[in-house]
Amino acid sequence: MISSTLFASATVSVIIGLGALLVGGAAGALVLKFIDKRNIENNKKNAIKIIEDAYAEAKTTKKEAILEAKEEAQKLKENIEKELEKRRNEVQKMEDRISQREDFIDKKELNLDKKFENLEEQKIKLESLKEKLQKEIEEQASIKQKILTELENVSHMKKEEAKELLIQEITEDARKDAYKLVREIEDKANDEADKKAQSIVAMAIQRCATDVTSESTVSVVSIPNEEMKGRIIGREGRNIRAFENSMGVDLIIDDTPEAITVSCFDPIRREIARLSLEKLILDGRIHPSRIEEIISKVKKDVEQTIKQAGENASEEAGVFGLHPELVKILGRLKYRTSYGQNCLKHSLETSYLAGLLASELGANVKLAKRGGLLHDIGKALDHEIEGTHVSIGMDLAKKYKESAEIIHCIEAHHFGVEFNSIEAILVQVADAISSARPGARRESLENYVKRLEDLERISNTFKGVEKSFALQAGREIRILVKPNEISDEDAAFMAKDIANKIETELEYPGQIKVNVIRESRFVETAK
């Protein structure tokens, strides 16, 4: 019962609360609506006021803009009037100028008309002169043709033949004049060059002298008696076979009294064989095992001798800092000869001469001496390695870190390449001086005779040669020409041509003097 009453009370309270809430919400909405309406009216009044103020301000601005526009238009009008006035003045000036120019053109036209009339008159005169000249040219051509015809009849020659003859005569005269001029220049240059060259070469040669040796591919060993030949041969030839097989040489045992010949192309092997054979002869015990023992000892001695020879040569030449292997290879030249000249002594001599020439000319003395000492280093190994001694020498110099200048001296000393340094030229000159001086070298009889025959053969191939003679061991060729076929000028040119042909076709040590003899003598040198 009590709970029913409470529930009823609560329900009534809720309903009252909701009603109050609805009444309050409606009242609030009316109040808000009233406030919004009032605000809208205020805003409308403010907007009207703003529009009125803006209209008034726009009206004022419009009046001001109109005034400014009128002022600006007035200014523009004034500027345009000034510009128009200025343009009128310029147009007036241009009209005045055009008027003046028209007057000038009119005057010029009058002058041109007068000149044209004069030109017409001159043209008529020129036409008349042209006709006269044409007639004169035709008359001269006729006269020239008559003269040519008469000349051909008199000389019995055609025009072309006479022209060729005239060209030949002019060419011959020019050639003679050129020869005289060239001869004068050459004589003057030779006089000056000879004096300087003679001074330098004479001083260099004066300060250098070396021994002369003979080239040979055999060595002769003396024996005490003929019985020793049999002991060297041994029973059934076993001793001589053992010796030859160990050394790679040939022992020539013939009827020559108290002598045995050792033959070998390799000079070092030949020297080892010679020394070994001498030791065996002194020892007296000759059998295969003893032969091998002696050869082994001698090889070591010769290697030591080679090393010592290389060191002595570099020290004597004043060339230091060579690679030890290069020193040994240099020492091998002690047993190498070329045309009878010892290669080590030739290298030393070349080094001396190159150094002396360099000191006289102000060149690099050390470089010249080093290049001279090593220029023929390739000859030490040319029996073992394929190639020329120049290419072998270059490879050795590169292998043992010699400078590019030294390599060039080796490469250029036989004109293999163009010279690019004064020291390389001096090495070549020193090499030529050392090898070409009298007594330095000798040739085999066969080569000597062949060179003489080649010199005479080359000389006889030239037209007008009557006889030729090779003289002074092939260092001079004298040519007698037919005087009715060869003039003095032709003989001079022939000497040059023969010298050039000898240089091209022959190989020879030193120089060959070419003498062409007519009524005068003309001398050239094949270098």
Instruction: Identify the H or E element spanning 347.
Output: helix 343-361
Largest CA distance in the chain: 187
Residue 309's contacts (CB-CB under 8 Å, 6 or more residues apart) are 330, 331, 334, 344
For 43, the 3-state DSSP assignment is helix
Residue 438: pLDDT band by 50, 70, 90 thresholds? low
The residue with greater pLDDT, 15 or 77, is: 77
Same domain, 370 and 326: yes
d(CA 147, CA 161): 16
Beta bridge partners, 517, equal 480, 521
d(CA 483, CA 491): 9
190 assigned to some structural domain: no
Q: What angle do CA 514, 517, 518 make, to 5 degrees?
A: 150
Cβ atoms of residues 275 and 295 within 8 Å: no
Confidence at residue 507, expressed as pLDDT on a 0 to 100 scale: 74
Cβ atoms of residues 373 and 393 within 8 Å: no
Residue 285: pLDDT band by 50, 70, 90 thresholds? confident
What are the tens digits of pLDDT across the range 118-172?
A: 888 888 888 888 888 888 888 888 887 777 777 667 666 666 777 777 787 777 7
* Other Cβ atoms within 10 Å of 229 Cβ, number: 17
Same domain, 223 and 324: yes
User: Which of 436, 454, 470 is where one domain is finished?
Assistant: 436
Residue 215: pLDDT band by 50, 70, 90 thresholds? very low
Same domain, 410 and 452: no
d(CA 432, CA 430): 5
Instruction: Identify the H or E element spanning 476.
Output: strand 476-481
Same domain, 284 and 399: yes
61 assigned to some structural domain: no
How distant is the alpha carbon of residue 128 from its chain centre?
67
343 assigned to some structural domain: yes
Same domain, 449 and 303: no
Confidence at residue 6, expressed as pLDDT on a 0 to 100 scale: 57
Cβ atoms of residues 459 and 479 within 8 Å: yes
d(CA 523, CA 515): 5
Residue 439: pLDDT band by 50, 70, 90 thresholds? low
Same domain, 290 and 332: yes
365 assigned to some structural domain: yes
Percentage of residues in the chain with pLDDT exceeding 70? 85
What is the mean pLDDT of the segment spanning 470-481? 82
Does 9 score more than 60 pLDDT? yes
Does 348 score more than 70 pLDDT? yes
What is the mean pLDDT of the segment spanning 274-292? 87
What is the mean pLDDT of the segment spanning 229-243? 85
CATH no. for residue 245?
Answer: 1.10.3210
37 assigned to some structural domain: no
292 assigned to some structural domain: yes
Cβ atoms of residues 490 and 464 within 8 Å: yes
Confidence at residue 100, expressed as pLDDT on a 0 to 100 scale: 86
d(CA 317, CA 320): 9
Residue 430's contacts (CB-CB under 8 Å, 6 or more residues apart) are 204, 349, 350, 351, 352, 353, 354, 357, 368, 372
User: Which of 378, 411, 436 is where one domain is finished?
Assistant: 436
What are the tens digits of pLDDT across the range 296-331?
A: 999 999 899 999 999 999 998 889 899 999 999 999
Tokens of 240: 């001589």
What are the tens digits of pLDDT across the range 15-42?
A: 776 766 777 677 677 767 777 777 787 7
Same domain, 335 and 403: yes
471 assigned to some structural domain: yes
What is the mean pLDDT of the segment spanning 483-494? 84
335 assigned to some structural domain: yes
For 316, the 3-state DSSP assignment is helix
CATH no. for residue 504?
Answer: 3.30.70
Same domain, 432 and 448: no
Q: Answer yes or no: pTM beyond 0.85.
A: no
Q: Which residue has the tokens 């220029």?
A: 375
Provide the number of structural domains found in the chain. 2
For 492, the 3-state DSSP assignment is helix
User: Of 333, 312, 201, 202, which Cα lies nearest the Cα of 267?
Assistant: 333
Please provide the average confidence, as pLDDT, over all residues in the chain: 81
How distant is the alpha carbon of residue 167 from its chain centre?
41
What are the tens digits of pLDDT across the range 361-400?
A: 889 999 999 999 999 999 888 878 888 889 999 999 999 9
User: Of 374, 372, 368, 430, which Cα lies nearest the Cα of 399?
Assistant: 374
Residue 99: pLDDT band by 50, 70, 90 thresholds? confident
Same domain, 323 and 401: yes
Confidence at residue 178, expressed as pLDDT on a 0 to 100 scale: 75
User: Which of 368, 401, 436 is where one domain is finished?
Assistant: 436
Least confident segment among 54-68, 257-271, 370-384, 508-522: 508-522
Does 213 score more than 70 pLDDT? no
d(CA 495, CA 179): 13
Same domain, 369 and 429: yes
d(CA 526, CA 451): 14
Residue 288: pLDDT band by 50, 70, 90 thresholds? confident
Confidence at residue 207, expressed as pLDDT on a 0 to 100 scale: 55
Same domain, 409 and 359: yes
What are the tens digits of pLDDT across the range 444-458?
A: 556 667 888 888 889
Structural domain of residue 459, as residue ranges?
443-526
Cβ atoms of residues 331 and 308 within 8 Å: yes
Beta bridge partners, 337, equal 342
Confidence at residue 176, expressed as pLDDT on a 0 to 100 scale: 72
Does 427 score more than 90 pLDDT? yes
Question: 476-481 and 259-263 as β-strands: parallel, antiparallel, unpaired?
Answer: unpaired
Does 443 score more than 60 pLDDT? no
Same domain, 393 and 470: no
Does 442 score more than 90 pLDDT? no
